[in-house]
């Protein structure tokens, strides 16, 4: 049996060759140094909340820290975001049925694949109740099963974040998975709990040598002065008046996500169609060899993203004849281990 979750589904749609390298062949890029990116921050915050709901303490396991290698700022920000959620939403338990449960569901037209989703929490609402959505309104929870997921987001993207969940397939995967267990007709909706990252205070100083402005951290302390990391000019700088970090407490709010039984049936067929394409991609060796040996990535628009930067396999695919196999930048890893441990 093979399993497809939203991570693989999204990876395939972004670029089939990326999916092939990452999830079929099992390669990943060697991490160089610490990470402070959005994906690391989201994963750290999620783990801190998982520990809170399981053990009552906002903390991040040592193994998770060792695997993700966050910068100190990223670690502190993750704890800040998790604590912000706990302060405003800790009392919303609603008789939770399960935390962090992985569930599978059958697909259309195939018996060799199953869908998979890991649900943060889900619960059964027995009587209608109303909750504050954090946006100046309220959400009515009607009787039935509800799913809750957590996301971190930038304050500048609030409108797009809210609109994106009208078509985000992660909700479909989770509802299909829970529907397999309790019946699709018993699922009312999904709440996406968003923890909004405030604007960060990042102190900057203008170099007296090259006249350019850089982050304060770019200057190297030399006794009582600072050397510009770019031009090397040694100078005195105004010391920091306050620490770096968020300028105010994070905001939290809910997005309600609805899907009809008909919507979910269409999604199940779409997911099944992707599994057929995955099978064909890996079976047709001549086609695959041509892609890797001569034509590079299929979706070249995803090679360099304006928000997330270059693709993990950018260097291997763009550099002539380099490839992934035998490339010291990449290692074989159990990139599907998170799925195997859940099913």
Report the pLDDT value the prediction gives residue 297, as an integer from 0 to 100: 45
Spatial contact of 173 and 6, defined as CB atoms under 8 Å apart:
yes
Q: Encode burial over 69-85: b for 16+ CB neighbours within 10 A, e otherwise.
A: ebeebbbbbbbbbbbbb
Mean pLDDT of 141-151: 94
Please, which residues have CB within 8 angstroms of residue 283's CB and are 6 or more apart in sequence? none
Sign of the Cα pseudo-torsion (34, 40, 45, 50, in order): negative
How far apart CA 69 and CA 230 sit, in angstroms, is 27
Rounded to whole angstroms, how far apart are CA atoms 161 and 76?
24
214 pLDDT more than 80: yes
Contact 270, 194 (CB under 8 A): no
Report pLDDT digits (tens) over 79-107. Answer: 999 999 999 887 776 777 777 889 999 99
Closest C-alpha to 19, from 39, 35, 4: 4
Q: How confident is the model at residue 280, as a pLDDT?
A: 84
Higher pLDDT, 242 or 172: 172
Does the structure show a pLDDT above 80 at 20?
yes
Q: Dmax over Cα atoms in the chain, in whole Å?
A: 71
Task: Check whether 340 has a pLDDT greater than 60.
Answer: no
| pLDDT tens-digit series, residues 273-293 | 999 989 888 876 655 665 555
Read off the pLDDT of each residue in 185-214 and give the average, rounded to a whole number. Answer: 89
In a 10 Å sphere around its CB, with 0-12 CB exposed, 13-18 middle and 19+ buried, how is residue 207 labelled? buried
pLDDT at 246: 60
- pLDDT tens for each residue of 217-248: 889 999 899 999 889 999 999 887 766 656 56
Identify the sign of the CA torsion 75, 76, 79, 81.
negative
* Tokens 């930048």 -> residue: 329
């Amino acid at each position: 049996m093979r399993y497809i979750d939203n991570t693989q589904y999204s990876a395939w749609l972004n670029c089939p060759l990326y999916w092939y390298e990452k999830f079929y062949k099992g390669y990943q890029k060697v991490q160089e140094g610490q990470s402070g990116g959005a994906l690391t921050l989201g994963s750290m915050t999620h783990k801190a909340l998982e520990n809170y709901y399981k053990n009552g303490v906002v903390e991040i396991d040592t193994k998770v820290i060792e695997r993700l290698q966050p910068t100190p700022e990223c670690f502190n920000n993750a704890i800040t975001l998790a604590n912000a959620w706990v302060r405003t939403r800790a009392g919303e338990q609603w008789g939770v049925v399960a935390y962090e449960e992985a569930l599978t569901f059958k697909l259309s037209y195939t018996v060799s694949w199953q869908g998979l989703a890991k649900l943060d929490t889900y619960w059964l609402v027995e009587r209608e109740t109303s909750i504050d959505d954090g946006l100046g309104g309220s959400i009515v929870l009607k009787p039935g099963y509800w799913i809750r997921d957590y996301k971190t987001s930038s304050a500048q993207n609030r409108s797009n974040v809210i609109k994106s969940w009208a078509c985000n397939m992660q909700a479909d995967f989770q509802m299909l998975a829970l529907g397999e267990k309790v019946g699709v007709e018993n699922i009312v909706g999904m709440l996406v709990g968003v923890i909004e990252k405030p604007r960060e205070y990042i102190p900057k100083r203008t170099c007296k040598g090259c006249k350019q402005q850089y982050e304060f951290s770019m200057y190297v302390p030399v006794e009582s002065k600072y050397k510009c990391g770019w031009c090397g000019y040694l100078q005195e700088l105004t010391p920091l008046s306050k620490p770096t970090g968020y300028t105010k407490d994070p905001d939290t709010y809910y997005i309600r996500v609805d899907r009809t039984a008909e919507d979910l049936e269409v999604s199940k067929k779409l997911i099944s169609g992707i599994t057929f394409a995955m099978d064909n991609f890996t079976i047709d060796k001549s086609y695959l060899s041509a892609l890797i040996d001569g034509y590079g990535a299929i979706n070249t628009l995803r090679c360099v993203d304006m928000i997330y930067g270059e693709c993990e396999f950018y260097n291997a695919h763009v550099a002539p004849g380099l490839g992934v196999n035998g490339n010291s930048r990449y290692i074989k890893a159990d990139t599907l281990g998170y799925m195997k441990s859940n099913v």
